[in-house]
Amino acid sequence: MQRYRKIVKNARILPVFIYICSMEQHDNYINEALGLLQRLIATPSTSRNEAEAADVMQAALREYGFETHREANNVWVVDPKYDSSRQTILLNAHIDTVKPVNTWTRDPFTPSIEGDRLYGLGSNDCGGGLTTLLQVFRYFCMDHSDSSRPFNLIYLASAEEEISGQNGISLVLPMLPLIDIAIVGEPTGMQPAIAEKGLMVLDVIAHGVSGHAARNEGVNAIYEALDDMRWIRDFQFPKVSPLLGPVKMTLTTVNAGTQHNVIPDRCTMLVDVRSNELYTNEEIYDIISRNLKSEVLPHSFRLHSSHIDPNHPLVQKCLLLGLVPFGSPTLSDQSLMPFPSLKLGPGESMRSHSADEFIEISEIQQAFEKYIQLLES
């Protein structure tokens, strides 16, 4: 306090005093985020098994005095001062994790802090964003609630993100008020991803006629598939995104035949297609199916590429804060959002799904400050 008294005596540096006090107040939010993150790490929550983690999230929100809503393992809170005349911003991150890989050298469900690092499954993907965005919601909607604020906030902790499941965010979005834009707290190094590749998986099936391999009979389905395999390998989609690059199409599995002396009458292929924002998945499917002899069956069209206008005020505010927009190759719940969104969160994508996953405490601190600066007028 002696330091603060000296500062107050000099009116010219009063803003510094305010900033230092603000920083100390912000420590409470950071400590709350870290405490909740450690509880979540200690609560296994692989996709479709998030019930206990959803309980943890719901309990935390209720402790802050918020009225919670829940559907399946998705938990959300609406701005207590919600006003339909204002724009609404969704703060979203997911509570589910992938299964831990076998190369972990520590217990993935035991949170441990070593220096600036907090280790544990889901710490980086995306517990850091999940718990930090909750504190941002708390900052604006409880501790700094202001009826003159020009936007509403909704906080959503969603399930089944890692598998793009039907009981995840797509289940909840129809239950929410109208949303104008979303901030998705995936790990991006706190740089805004303003475009994200979509995903479409295709079953490609070449048909033949079975026969005995010793005789010149039948139609070999593998040979029938070869031209299609070459086309999948060589075709280039003409529209190339400045943010996401070209559409990427990859043949990932091939299966045919039952035994050495039987001509295969069926060759099945699996094709992974990563779309850019210049095509819909339906358009890409149409191009592929018109060029292949084989039967083409999409698993789904629902995981579209996402994109937000670089001139959107939130993107422009990111630029003013010195942040650098980019295009993300990895999929998130953005693909299921029918409104503009950007991906912005603490941590680094390269740590996701890896052994000994961690997030840096300083990353959470910096993220909280950036989120506040981004949303404050």
Structure confidence by residue, pLDDT tens digits, 20-52: 345 566 889 999 999 999 999 999 999 999 999
Task: Say whether both 120 and 24 belong to one domain.
Answer: yes
Q: What pLDDT does residue 316 have?
A: 97
The amino acid present at 53, given as its one-letter code, is A
Q: Is 3 helix (H, G, I), strand (E, B) or coil?
A: helix
Ramachandran sector of residue 113 (left: φ over 0; alpha: ψ -120 to 50; beta: rest): beta
Residue 66: CATH number of its domain: 3.40.630.10
Task: Say whether both 56 and 162 belong to one domain.
Answer: yes
Q: For residue 304, which of 278, 267, 343, 342 has the smallest C-alpha distance?
A: 278
Task: Say whether both 189 and 66 belong to one domain.
Answer: yes
- Identify whether 256 is part of a domain: yes
Measured in residues, the chain has a length of: 377
What does DSSP say about strands 262-263 and 211-212: parallel, antiparallel, or unpaired? antiparallel
Query: Is residue 350 predicted with pLDDT exceeding 90?
Result: no
Check if the beta carbon of residue 112 is closer than 8 Å to that of residue 51.
Answer: no
Task: Say whether both 278 and 223 belong to one domain.
Answer: yes
Separation between Cα atoms, residue 169 and residue 93, nearest integer Å: 10
Separation between Cα atoms, residue 15 and residue 24, nearest integer Å: 14
Q: Which two tokens stand for residue 354?
A: 């890896």
The predicted model scores a pTM of 0.86
Q: Considering its fold, how many domains does the chain have in total?
A: 2
Query: Is residue 104 predicted with pLDDT exceeding 50?
Result: yes
- Identify whether 307 is part of a domain: no
- Identify whether 86 is part of a domain: yes
Structure confidence by residue, pLDDT tens digits, 128-169: 999 999 999 999 998 877 767 899 999 999 999 999 999 999
Check if the beta carbon of residue 337 is closer than 8 Å to that of residue 101.
Answer: no
Task: Say whether both 159 and 15 belong to one domain.
Answer: yes
Task: Say whether both 217 and 331 belong to one domain.
Answer: no
Which whole-number Å values give the CA distances from 354 to 98, 115, 367, in the listed order?
10, 20, 22
Determine the structural domain holding residue 337 and report its residue range: 2-196+327-375
- Min mean pLDDT across 15-24, 66-75, 182-191 is at 15-24
Q: What pLDDT does residue 125 have?
A: 92
Task: Say whether both 96 and 146 belong to one domain.
Answer: yes
- Identify whether 304 is part of a domain: no
Q: What pLDDT does residue 23 have?
A: 54
